[in-house]
């Protein structure tokens, strides 16, 4: 009798959990988000960091019940600067990104994703009274997750690595707050 009750309880638990698994729906539709975090730039063997801030947007297309593919765009800035403003200084400027991402729903209000794409960063150098800026092209790879916090709002976190020309790279950890439409 105990075995029958145990089997019945296990079967009931499994059947009760099955609808919850079916609710893991991939994110879909347009989204917009604020981005804040930490930006660490490496150039010519030197490393320095600063605050990361910006805005992102995208559109996700459900391709399976718990999988979506999407497009991302983002514009960020950074407070990273290296050197002495009276002698020579390098500052990170805007960073533009466009890419794709793949998301997998892992819970009813949570998804994990990987992303990759093109990035273009601007850096400004000042030496004495002369200043100039230069743009660098590269690629970005990243991974992160999002958690729904009510309605269509979500919070997220992400790590991303960008590699540009001339030995310039950056590591970023970003937090996001956004909404879907």
Domain map of the chain by residue range?
24-180
pTM: 0.82
Per-residue model confidence (pLDDT) at position 2: 53
As a whole number of Å, the end-to-end CA separation of the chain is 53
Is the Cα dihedral 42, 46, 50, 54 positive or negative? Answer: negative
At residue 24, the pLDDT reads 80
CA distance 49 to 42: 9
Strands 46-64, 29-43: pairing is antiparallel
Domain at 24-180, CATH class: mainly beta
Diameter over CA atoms, the chain? 89
Q: At 152, list the tokens.
A: 């269509």
For residue 152, how far is the Cα from the chain centroid? 18
At 10 the pLDDT is: 46
Question: Cβ neighbours of residue 146 under 8 Å, at least 6 residues apart?
Answer: 27, 103, 110, 111, 113, 154, 155, 156, 176, 178
Residue labelled with tokens 């200043």: 131
Structure tokens at 51: 């605050």
Q: No. of H helices and E strands in the chain?
A: 1, 9
Q: What does residue 2 show for φ and ψ, rounded to 5 degrees? A: -65, -40
Residue owning tokens 């959990």: 17
pLDDT at 58 over 90: yes
Output the pLDDT for position 130. 85
CB 46 within 8 A of CB 77: no
CA 80 to chain centre: 19
Residue 72 has a CB neighbour count (10 Å cut-off) of: 22
pLDDT of residue 44: 74
- With a CB cutoff of 8 Å and minimum separation 6, the contacts of 166 are 43, 136
What digits encode the pLDDT tens for the residues 107-162?
999 999 999 999 999 999 888 778 889 999 999 999 999 999 989 999 999 999 99
């Amino acid at each position: 009798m105990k075995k029958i009750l145990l089997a019945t309880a296990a079967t009931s638990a499994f059947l009760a959990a099955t609808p919850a698994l079916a609710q893991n729906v991939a994110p879909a539709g347009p989204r917009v988000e604020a981005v804040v975090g930490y930006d660490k730039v490496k150039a010519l063997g030197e490393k320095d960091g600063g605050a990361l801030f910006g805005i992102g947007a995208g559109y996700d297309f459900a391709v399976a019940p718990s999988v979506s593919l999407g497009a991302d765009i983002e514009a960020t800035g950074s407070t990273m600067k290296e050197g002495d403003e009276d002698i020579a200084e390098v500052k990170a400027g805007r960073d533009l990104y466009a890419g794709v991402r793949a998301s997998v729903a892992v819970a009813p209000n949570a998804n994990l994703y990987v992303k990759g794409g093109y990035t273009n960063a601007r850096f400004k150098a000042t030496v004495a009274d002369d200043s100039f800026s230069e743009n660098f092209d590269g690629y970005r790879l990243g991974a992160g997750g999002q958690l729904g916090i009510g309605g269509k709002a979500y919070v997220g976190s992400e790590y991303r690595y960008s590699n540009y020309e001339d030995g310039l790279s950056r590591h970023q950890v970003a937090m996001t707050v956004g909404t879907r439409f």
